[in-house]
């Protein structure tokens, strides 16, 4: 049966308000951003990747990554690591008690992660990957897996990998249609996502290169996936969530960035807010005309008052 974009979907007994998801992005998918895309129609948005091992330390960095409150309807955390027992302790820990879904990072291509046996390296060690999924499932939570299609064109293992995820208890898989060797370049190899979807019965979400409604529909048709997952294009233009899900909104990039500034200021310290909002504003500016001249002013802002004035100038002067 043909699947429709923007419809509700059940994953492991948890209902997503839509089948358009926001991928975890290191440095970007903090609580204010997740709350925004959820309001715009995202079925869920994952935290930045959190080291499963780091959860045993009560450090500020991890606390910021895990920040949430009752305004976030569906709470989804992504864990990174390589040791099953560490994952089990993390999944059962009090620090993750409020989270509904645990996503396991088996797709990160960054060299230091791969060398440590985590991220996409787990696609070359199916027994270990299976034990990690089983370990997380013992927490009683819904478990998802984020992966790629393989390490390189000669090592595309996504069909076997998807079957392993399902048999190990994973409730869903989201697949970035590139190999590790492709990093973030080149057209995703969507046909391999279709092969994975046909190999399992659990929900499969297609990820990679989705920058418009037309592209999302084309990817759904080509892969047979149950939904799509946005990454950098969702960060560049969060209004895409409303477009893909049919969610009515009067928001503009101007209203969204100012809302993010207020919300981030409520939740985090000034240094964090300055860094986050400058990054977000830079992404928002990418497709807007006449904003290049403002970038230097943006990064010279030294406090929240200055930043607010610059943002108003940037997004008030263009059709946001």
> Taking 70 as the threshold, does the pLDDT of residue 288 lie above it?
yes
Please give the mean pLDDT across all residues of the chain: 94
With beta carbons less than 8 A apart as the criterion, state whether 277 and 247 touch: no
> Taking 60 as the threshold, does the pLDDT of residue 170 lie above it?
yes
How confident is the model at residue 297, as a pLDDT? 85
Q: Which residue has the tokens 């440095």?
A: 27
> Taking 60 as the threshold, does the pLDDT of residue 176 lie above it?
yes
Query: What is the rounded distance in angstroms from the CA atom of residue 260 to the CA atom of residue 255?
Result: 9
How confident is the model at residue 317, as a pLDDT? 62
The first and second tokens of residue 283, run together, are 């992404």
Q: Which helix (H) or strand (E) holds 166?
A: helix 158-168
Reported as a single tens digit per residue, the pLDDT across 299-311 is 889 999 999 999 9
pLDDT band per the 50, 70, 90 thresholds, residue 293: confident
SS3 content of the chain, % helix, strand, coil (to 5): 50, 15, 40
- N residues, the chain: 320
- pTM comes to 0.95
> Taking 90 as the threshold, does the pLDDT of residue 121 lie above it?
yes
What is the rounded radius of gyration, in angstroms, for the C-alpha atoms of the chain?
Answer: 19
> Taking 70 as the threshold, does the pLDDT of residue 35 lie above it?
yes
* Angle (deg, nearest 10), helices 253-267 and 304-316: 170
Annotation marks residue 108 as catalytic: yes
Catalytic residue among 30, 44, 76, 108: 108
């Amino acid at each position: 049966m043909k699947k429709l974009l923007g419809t509700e979907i059940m994953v492991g007994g948890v209902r997503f308000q839509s089948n358009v998801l926001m991928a975890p992005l290191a440095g970007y998918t903090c609580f204010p951003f997740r709350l925004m895309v959820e309001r715009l129609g995202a079925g869920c948005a994952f935290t930045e990747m959190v080291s499963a091992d780091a959860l045993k330390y009560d450090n500020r960095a991890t606390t910021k990554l895990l920040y949430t409150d009752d305004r976030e309807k569906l709470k989804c955390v992504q864990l990174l690591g390589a040791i099953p027992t560490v994952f089990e302790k993390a999944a059962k820990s009090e620090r993750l008690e409020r989270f509904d879904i645990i996503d396991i990072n088996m797709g990160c291509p960054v060299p230091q992660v791969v060398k440590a046996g985590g991220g996409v390296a787990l696609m070359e060690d199916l027994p270990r990957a299976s034990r990690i999924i089983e370990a997380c499932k013992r927490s009683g939570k819904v478990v998802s897996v984020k992966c790629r299609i393989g390490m390189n064109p000669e090592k595309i293992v996504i069909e076997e990998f998807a079957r392993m995820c399902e048999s190990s208890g994973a409730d869903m898989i989201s697949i970035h249609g590139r190999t590790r060797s492709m990093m973030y370049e080149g057209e995703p190899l969507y046909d391999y996502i279709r092969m994975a979807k046909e190999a399992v019965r659990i929900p499969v979400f297609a990820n990679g290169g989705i920058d418009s409604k037309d592209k999302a529909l084309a990817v759904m048709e080509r892969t047979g996936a149950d939904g799509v997952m946005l990454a950098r294009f969702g960060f560049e233009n969060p209004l895409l969530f409303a477009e893909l899900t049919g969610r009515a909104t009067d928001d503009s990039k101007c209203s969204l960035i100012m809302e993010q500034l207020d919300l981030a200021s409520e939740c985090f310290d000034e240094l964090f807010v300055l860094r986050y909002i400058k990054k977000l504003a830079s992404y928002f500016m990418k497709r807007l005309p006449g904003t290049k001249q403002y970038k230097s002013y943006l990064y010279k802002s030294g406090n929240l008052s200055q930043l607010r004035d610059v943002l108003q100038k940037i997004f008030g002067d263009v059709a946001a």
